[in-house]
Amino acid sequence: MPTMNFKRRLPIPQEIREEMPLAPELAEAKQAFDAEVAAVITGESSKKLLIIGPCSADREDSVLEYVTRLAKVRDEVSEKLIIIPRVYTNKPRTKGTGYKGLLHQPNPEGGTDLLAGIKAIRHMHLRVIEETGMFTADEMLYPDNYRFLFDLLAYVAIGARSVENQDHRQVASGVEVPVGMKNPTGGSTAVMLNAIYAAQQSQDFIYRNWDVTSTGNPLAHAVLRGYRGLDNIMYPNYHYEYLERLAEVYLNGEYQNPAVIIDCNHDNSGKRPFEQPRICKDVLESCRRNSSIAKVIRGFMVESYLEDGNQPVDGGVYGKSITDACIGWNKTVRLIYDLAERL
C-alpha cells in the first residue's frame, strides 16, 4: 500500500537564515538593487533586465566562477542592462524523475539529501552575493521553500508546470521582488495572465502552518517561453504577431505594470541554445516596429554557462550543463555586448 515515510524534521527557514545570515551592508545594497529592478518592471527605467546563467546550478565552484566573470561584464554594460544571475537550485521534471537540482542532490551523482540540500542552496546563493556583489534569481518550484532564500533573491520565476497552481499564485502575491509567471507548457496566454492577475491581488491562505494575508505583488509579470502543441512539437511565442496580440490584451486588461520577459531557450529555441542571440535580436526588432510591443518588453532570460552544450550528470566536464543545453562563455559575452549595443 502506498504511503509516506516521515524520516526527520527539517529546520525551519528562520533557523537556516540565522545559521547563514546576510550581512547588514549587503541587505542594504539589496534594497537599492531591488529598487533598480522594480523600476525596469514598472517602466520608470529604460534599461532592460537580463536574467542569465546555467539551466541548473549544479555545483558551487563552477557557478561561482561563472558569476565572477559575469560581474566584470555587468560593469561594462550597466547603463543599458541590469544583469541578474540565474542560480536555479531546484529543477522541475516532466516525468518526475531524474536530477531535481541542488536542493535534492547537493552532489549531483549522489543520492537525495534534503537536509544538506536546504543548507547547500542558501550557501551557494549567499556565497555568490558575498563574493561578486550580484543578487540572484531562482525558480520557486516549492512555495514552502521560498523563505529559505527570500532575503537573497532579486527575481523569482514561476515555471510553466507550476503557473496554474493556486499555492504558487498565492505565495507569489506576497513576494517582495518581481515574479515572472511563465506561460504553461501548452501555451495558454489566458492561464499566464490569470496567474499574473491572481499574484497582483491580496490573498488569504495557509503558508507553513500560518494563517497569512498578502498585499499582492504589483511586479508580477509575464515570461514567454514557447510551448508544445498537441502534436508534441515545440513552437515559439516570441514572434512579432504573438507579441502584438499579447500587448493589446495585456495593456488593456486589469493588470498593474504590464511587462514581458522573453525566455530565449526552452520551446522558444526548440531547445537549440545557440538560437538565443538571434531571438534577442528578433524581439528588439519587433520593439522597433511596434510601440505597444516596446512598451511591454522588459528583458530576456538566457541559459548560459562556462561551456557550450550539455552532458550527462556523470559527464565530468567542469562548467557544462547537466540539464538543458546552454551557450558557453564566449557566446555569452558576445550576446551581452551585442544586446547592450542594440538598446
**Res 149: pLDDT:** 98
Tell if the pTM clears 0.85, that is, is over it: yes
The residue count for the chain: 343
**Res 95: pLDDT:** 77
pLDDT beneath 70, residues of the chain: none
Q: Which grid cell is 22?
A: 546576510
How many Cβ atoms sit within 10 Å of the Cβ of residue 246?
22
Q: Which grid cell is 177?
A: 521582488
All structural domains of the chain with their residue ranges:
26-342
Contacts of 325 (CB under 8 A, 6+ apart): 55, 271, 272, 273, 303, 308, 309, 310
Q: Quote the distance between the C-alpha of residue 315 and its chain's center.
A: 25
**Res 98: pLDDT:** 82
In this predicted model, what pLDDT tens digit does every residue of 223-264 receive, in sequence order?
999 999 999 999 999 999 999 999 999 999 999 999 999 999
Q: How far apart are CA 219 and CA 10, in angstroms?
A: 31
Q: Quote the distance between the C-alpha of residue 184 and its chain's center.
A: 15
As assigned by CATH, the class of the 26-342 domain is alpha beta
Complete DSSP assignment for 232-292: S-EE---SHHHHHHHHHHHHTSS-SS--EEEE-SHHHHTT-GGGHHHHHHHHHHHHHH-HH
Strands 221-224 and 227-228: unpaired
For residue 299, give the nearest of 287, 312, 289 by alpha carbon: 287
The answer to whether 103 touches 121, Cβ cutoff 8 Å, is yes
**Res 2: pLDDT:** 77
